[in-house]
């Protein structure tokens, strides 16, 4: 009965000492596993390279995942910083080229254990929105992590409606500086990763004010912490927003700006400039930025979200072959739970979906590249279709993957609740994708708007984008009204008013209906749901109490300071 | 912009300084909130009493929930033990009677912060399965927590199929003792709450062997830890199973028995006795135990699961009135997100469901009491119907409440991912109810079996239980086969065989289809899904590494030892 003593965290050795029930499943199969894997990887060479990279990472004890499920938020953060800094050194040592496939496989393999996710977005936004001069100044420092950046867009009170952001940047002609301010509680930056405890710089989005007039949202580079001792810069208040569902490795943070001054050249100025006299100058088209946003979205689906469903299927299906429960006839051996129809009905659709989504994403990437090539010739016709397609597919994939992972998790019974099963962490990794990179309800409405516009074009006989060409051929059903005079029947209108009145009575009673549950604030223990509705104050007050905000500067001193020193002479 | 400085954890003061948007919602309402609360509580007196109890708990700093979201698993456990021991003292000091309504309100209010849940089940099982002598010996000690018990039924390899449990208890006539053993890895007890780090005693379910013959599953009281120093008893190996999704306050544990001897009188002997010569004697009917199981199930729904949906609705709806995002027309003020139809379509069905379930549970409790009264007269006719009803309703309520809580959580956008919103914890509290107290798929099959049996009875014109009486009146659709000769067409059978063959080819390829994803074990990092299928070994090996298993004995020395000393002279 003594458990096996071998190092159970060591890489699998296929075929050696495998559970016999799994062995049987792998015999007499109808296709070549290796061939299918190659297709998924996009070719046998990719499979080979991916395995080589993974073998290097698995063999390196610095990347061990052994303790992940046991670590506190603070320990996960420290470990993520340590591993990320080490990974940069490892990549250089291995001679893997910048942005090459090896690095891609590294990030995919280690994602949950790494920090500096938003640092990558910081760099991408400078590359997309900065002038050549700005790119040349900031990118070399960022690439070597001599500085660490974050992307401070979302505020406590605004996420989906970016035009409603409240942070302000007012130009002071006298000093040639922008003065950044957080004018209200709900205007504080909230959620950016790497902001809570790490970043030295941020691309801060703020409403640009010139001579009293607002020019809308613009990006500014702001130094938020000292490179010398990591203390907040003058006028900056910041910290970690505290515990979340998943993503313990990331220090999502908050940021308050009080008369923070940055030089004029810190406005990322590829598409809009402020001249020394305070004049505003727009230049070029920022449409190309949509493409960047879309390809980021598709890459997240392909490399992070769909693999969550694949992993969950892998875990649940293998376990369902090993787990035996109940006999079908008395005296018979117990049955593999995968032999139950109920288990098959749960798991097989998830498995089919995982494969389908993988190839759907491939199609989306092809469409993206077709569109990108057109934009290089100055044509932007395909952009609305691509945007609608990417938005709709993002929703479908994130929704289904989240639901599918949870089906897989629950199909493992009690053991699916143990973190050691891996499944709770996968759910917590996949489900936030329904909210980030475009909230799903909002994105669906954008796709719907495109479809309705195309429907109108179809009705008017205009040519349609290829993905909705079927609109022209479908015979749309018309209202099946019996007779015209039905519309003169006052009862119909009375009923309609009754229905409307009933609905209005219902929208109005929702709060009292929940008040009637009579949960006290202490009982709810929720920063969002308290009786008085002081949502944002509570979020802030509570976050400040988090242990993540009461740590010493060990992480900075050990891992970051040696890097930042290299930037000191240059900034 | 400075955040409000008042103590934000203090009880709400309705009407004082409330967000104006919430204030508006509470004006001109169509019913009395207080009256509806009274109905939910089962009368105005209950509302009054509940509020008094909650006020006492909220005013006591020992019960503060302020740090809950920031605590590690170890801190949550220690805090739960401290609070539970203190609660026992508080209840005595307040003069609240045993098992009275005040205690009920205490447990409901503090549930997530308390320990010793399984201790209650330990007592219930002794009361249900023990002789008067056994009850008189154990219950007084347990009630004062001079000993702490757990209920060790589920094993690593068996949950739903209780008849398949592998732990053995062999009677030794010579010493008048049972010898308990864990014969295989999958036979170790796994999951019982309070077992990992707390309990001194356990009701252990084991296959009873007398003179080489197996008599099936029986309950034994086993001392598993010393009352003096908390060390494991002779032949006992135990510990905590490590981190889970939620329930951090509970020390779910594992237990291995090696030739553990307990006296003959430790078999709970209300329904079956072993005589000194090793003869087996069955007595009475244990049907009444089904009733205990059912009422436990209904009480969990009413006092724990449905309130989760109620709380989630409360948080999401209040927040949706405070949160404003985007204007409908340019220049207009931003709209409350509850004003969006999409938000209403998410939240209102959850709210309606929460109310509907509350009253469904009331109906189920009435049915239970009708059934219970009949059993007191020796009639058990209603039992199968009650069992099927309770099983089916348990599934519907736990499934809907879990899904509904998640809808509410996601409807709060990004902030719904912050633990500080309260929503992630509510989800992690509610969703395990789909698995515990009867796995939902298994329970649905039991209800289905009852329905099919009743259908057969209806076809034969027999009288039916009231809840399915409609079976007699429904005109069941018959097979719409065109002509008899269709059944002679061999193509139909060929197609059927094809279909069957196709399905068989598919049940077989599931493992290779997931193997083809080619996740290494390190990448999956899952005790359930590794390539070799050594599920149980990994769960055990990994759990042993948990920090919960490497703690000093501070909790024991501080909170438990002073209590256990009282039992030393009696056991």
Provide the chain A residues 504-563 that lie in CB contact (below 8 A) with chain B: 505-535, 537-543, 545-547
- Residue B97: how many other CB atoms lie within 10 Å: 10
pLDDT in tens, chain B (571 residues): 333 333 333 333 334 578 888 888 888 777 888 998 999 999 999 999 999 999 999 899 999 887 888 888 889 999 999 999 999 999 999 999 988 999 999 998 888 899 999 999 999 999 999 999 999 999 999 998 899 999 999 999 998 888 899 999 999 999 999 999 999 988 999 999 999 999 999 999 999 999 999 999 999 999 999 998 889 999 999 999 988 898 999 999 999 999 999 999 999 999 999 999 999 999 887 777 778 788 888 989 999 999 999 999 999 998 998 899 998 888 889 999 998 989 999 999 999 999 999 999 999 999 999 998 988 888 888 889 999 999 999 999 999 999 999 999 999 999 999 998 889 999 999 999 999 989 999 999 999 999 999 988 988 889 888 888 877 765 444 444 566 666 667 666 666 655 554 454 447 566 777 777 777 676 676 777 777 777 776 777 777 777 777 777 777 777 777 877 887 787 7
Nearest to B109 among A315, A523, A532 (CB): A523
Q: Smallest CA–CA separation between A372 and chain B, in Å?
A: 30
Contact flag A1-B510 (C-beta cutoff 8 Å):
no
Distance CA B208, CA B524 (A): 40
C-alpha closest to that of B68 among B427, B419, B423, B559: B419
Q: What does the DSSP assignment read for A474-539?
A: S-PPPP--S-GGGGG-HHHHHHHHHHHHHHHHHHHSHHHHHHTT---HHHH--SSS-TT--HHHHH
Contact flag A348-B506 (C-beta cutoff 8 Å):
yes
- Chain A residues with CB under 8 Å of B323 CB are 157, 535
Distance CA A370, CA A467 (A): 14
B43 is in an annotated binding site: no
C-alpha closest to that of B403 among A402, A515, A397: A402
Distance CA B138, CA B414 (A): 50
Q: Which H or E element spans position A263? A: strand A260-263
Q: Is B244 on the interface with A (CB under 8 A)?
A: yes
Query: Binding site membership of A for FAD: which residues?
Result: 154, 193
E strand segments, A105-242: 149-152, 168-172, 177-181, 189-190, 201-210, 213-223, 236-240
- Chain B residues with CB under 8 Å of A242 CB are 69-70, 418-420
Token code pair at residue B353: 């469901």
Contact flag A8-B538 (C-beta cutoff 8 Å):
yes
Distance CA A90, CA B549 (A): 34
Distance CA A432, CA B418 (A): 11
- Chain A residues with CB under 8 Å of B154 CB are 414
Contact flag A545-B66 (C-beta cutoff 8 Å):
yes
Nearest to A530 among B12, B40, B256 (CB): B12
Whole-Å CA distances, B190 to A414, A504, B164, B233: 10, 52, 15, 18
Dihedral (CA of A154, A156, A161, A167) sign = negative
- Chain A residues with CB under 8 Å of B307 CB are 517, 519
Q: What are the residues whose beta carbons fall under 8 Å from the beta carbon of B165, sequence distance 6 or more? A: B153, B155, B158, B187, B205, B206, B207, B217
B154 is in an annotated binding site: yes
Distance CA A9, CA A58 (A): 10
pLDDT for the residue B499:
53
Provide the chain A residues 102-141 that lie in CB contact (below 8 A) with chain B: 109
Q: Smallest CA–CA separation between B531 and chain A, in Å?
A: 6
- Residue A184: how many other CB atoms lie within 10 Å: 14
Contact flag B318-A531 (C-beta cutoff 8 Å):
yes
Q: Is-contact A334 B161, C-beta < 8 A?
A: yes
Q: Is-contact A368 A291, C-beta < 8 A?
A: yes
Nearest to B505 among A30, A33, A527 (CB): A30
Catalytic-role residue among A54, A75, A265, A437: A437
Token code pair at residue A423: 């499944």
Q: Is A154 on the interface with B (CB under 8 A)?
A: yes
Largest distance between two CA atoms of chain A: 91
CA-nearest residue of chain A to B188? A1
- Chain B residues with CB under 8 Å of A410 CB are 431, 434-435
C-alpha closest to that of B421 among B316, B322, B560: B316
pLDDT for the residue A60:
94
Q: What does the DSSP assignment read for A35-57?
A: HHHHHHHTSHHHHHHHHHHHHHH
Nearest to B351 among A1, A29, A510 (CB): A510
Distance CA A291, CA A137 (A): 25
Q: Smallest CA–CA separation between B24 and chain A, in Å?
A: 9
The tokens 């944002």 sit on which residue?
A536
pLDDT for the residue B13:
38
Provide the chain A residues 479-508 that lie in CB contact (below 8 A) with chain B: 505-508
Q: Is A437 a catalytic residue?
A: yes
Q: What does the DSSP assignment read for B270-338?
A: SSEEE-TTS-EEE-S-TTHHHHHHHHHHHHHIIIIIHHHHHHHHHHHHHHHHH-B---SSTTSPPPBGG
User: Directed axis angle between helix B440-459 and helix B383-410, to 10°?
Assistant: 140
Distance CA A395, CA B217 (A): 50
Contact flag A68-B524 (C-beta cutoff 8 Å):
no
Bridge-based pairing of strands B189-190 and A149-152 is unpaired
Q: Is B376 on the interface with A (CB under 8 A)?
A: no
Contact flag B321-A511 (C-beta cutoff 8 Å):
yes
Catalytic-role residue among B437, B439, B483, B541: B437
Q: Is-contact A240 A251, C-beta < 8 A?
A: yes
String of b and e for B21-31 (b: at least 16 CB within 10 Å)?
bbeebbeebee
A335, A528, A549, A550: best to mutate for the B interface, most B CBs within 10 A: A528
B430, B533, B538, B539: best to mutate for the A interface, most A CBs within 10 A: B533
Nearest to B419 among A11, A243, A517 (CB): A243
Distance CA A15, CA B256 (A): 31
Exposed, middle or buried: residue B141 (CB in 10 Å: 0-12, 13-18, 19+)?
buried
E strand segments, A157-200: 168-172, 177-181, 189-190
Whole-Å CA distances, A375 to A126, A292, A382, B268, B554: 21, 12, 9, 79, 67
Nearest to A242 among B9, B25, B420 (CB): B420
What is the per-residue pLDDT across A116-140, written as a single tens digit (0 to 9) for each? Answer: 999 999 999 999 999 999 999 999 9
Q: Smallest CA–CA separation between B311 and chain A, in Å?
A: 6
ipTM for the predicted complex comes to: 0.87
Q: Is-contact B167 B182, C-beta < 8 A?
A: yes
Nearest to B58 among A324, A522, A535 (CB): A522
The stretches in chain A having pLDDT less than 70 are 1-16, 473-488, 490-506, 508-510, 520, 522-523, 525, 537
Dihedral (CA of A490, A496, A502, A505) sign = negative
Distance CA A105, CA A12 (A): 19
Q: Is A244 on the interface with B (CB under 8 A)?
A: yes
Q: Which H or E element spans position A256? A: strand A253-257
pLDDT for the residue B194:
94
Q: pTM for the whole thing?
A: 0.88
Reduced to 3 states (helix: H, G, I; strand: E, B; else coil), residue B368 is helix
Query: What structural domains and CATH numbers belong to chain B?
Result: 31-115 (1.10.540.10), 149-283 (2.40.110.10), 291-472 (1.20.140.10), 509-570 (no CATH)
């Amino acid at each position: 009965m003594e458990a096996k003593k071998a190092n159970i965290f060591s890489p699998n050795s296929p075929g050696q000492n495998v559970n016999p029930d799994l062995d049987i499943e792998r015999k007499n199969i109808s296709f070549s596993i290796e061939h299918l894997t190659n297709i998924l990887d996009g070719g046998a060479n990719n499979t080979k390279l991916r395995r080589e990279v993974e073998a290097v990472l698995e063999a390196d004890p610095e990347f061990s995942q052994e303790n992940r499920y046991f670590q506190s938020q603070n320990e996960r953060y420290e470990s993520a910083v340590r591993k990320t800094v080490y990974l940069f050194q490892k990549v250089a040592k291995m001679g893997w080229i910048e942005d090459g496939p090896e690095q891609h496989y590294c990030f995919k393999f280690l994602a949950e254990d790494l920090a500096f996710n938003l640092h990558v977005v910081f760099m991408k936004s400078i590359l997309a929105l900065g002038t050549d001069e700005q790119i040349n100044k900031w990118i070399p420092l960022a690439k070597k992590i001599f500085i660490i950046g974050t992307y401070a867009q979302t505020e406590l009170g605004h996420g989906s409606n970016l035009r409603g952001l409240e942070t302000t940047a007012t130009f002071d002609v006298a000093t040639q500086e922008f003065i950044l301010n957080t004018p209200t509680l709900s205007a504080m930056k909230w959620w950016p990763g790497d902001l809570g405890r790490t970043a030295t710089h941020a691309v801060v989005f703020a409403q640009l004010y010139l001579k009293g007039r607002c020019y809308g949202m613009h990006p500014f580079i702001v130094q938020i912490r000292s490179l010398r001792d990591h203390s907040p810069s003058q006028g900056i208040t910041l910290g970690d927003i505290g515990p979340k569902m998943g993503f313990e490795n990331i220090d999502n943070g908050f940021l308050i700006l009080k008369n923070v001054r940055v030089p004029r050249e810190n406005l990322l100025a590829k598409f809009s400039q402020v001249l020394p006299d305070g004049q505003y100058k727009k230049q070029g088209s920022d449409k190309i930025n949509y493409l960047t946003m879309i390809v980021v979205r598709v890459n997240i689906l392909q490399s992070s979200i769909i693999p969550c469903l694949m992993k969950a299927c892998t875990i649940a299906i293998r376990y369902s072959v090993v787990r035996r429960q109940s006999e079908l006839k008395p005296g018979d051996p117990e049955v593999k739970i995968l032999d139950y129809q109920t288990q098959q009905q749960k798991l097989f659709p998830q498995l089919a979906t995982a494969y389908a989504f993988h190839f759907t994403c491939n199609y989306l990437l092809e469409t993206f590249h077709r569109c990108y090539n057109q934009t290089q010739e100055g044509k932007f016709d395909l952009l609305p279709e691509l945007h609608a397609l990417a938005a709709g597919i993002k929703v479908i994939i994130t929704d289904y993957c989240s639901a599918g992972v949870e089906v897989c998790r629950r199909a493992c019974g009690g053991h699916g609740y143990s973190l050691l099963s891996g499944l709770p962490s996968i759910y917590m990794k996949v489900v936030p994708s329904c909210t980030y990179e475009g909230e799903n309800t909002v994105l669906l409405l954008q796709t719907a708007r495109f479809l309705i516009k195309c429907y109108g074009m179809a009705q008017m006989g205009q040519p349609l984008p290829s993905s909705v060409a079927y609109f022209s051929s479908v015979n749309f059903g018309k209202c099946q009204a019996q007779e015209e005079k039905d519309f003169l029947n006052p009862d119909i209108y009375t009923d309609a008013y009754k229905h409307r009145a009933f609905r209005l009575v219902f929208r109005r009673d929702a709060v009292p209906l929940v008040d009637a549950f009579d949960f006290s604030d202490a009982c709810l223990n929720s920063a969002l749901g308290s009786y008085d509705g002081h949502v944002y104050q509570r979020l802030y007050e509570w976050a400040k109490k988090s242990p993540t905000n009461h740590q010493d500067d060990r992480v900075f001193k050990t891992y970051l300071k040696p890097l930042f020193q290299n930037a000191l002479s240059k900034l």
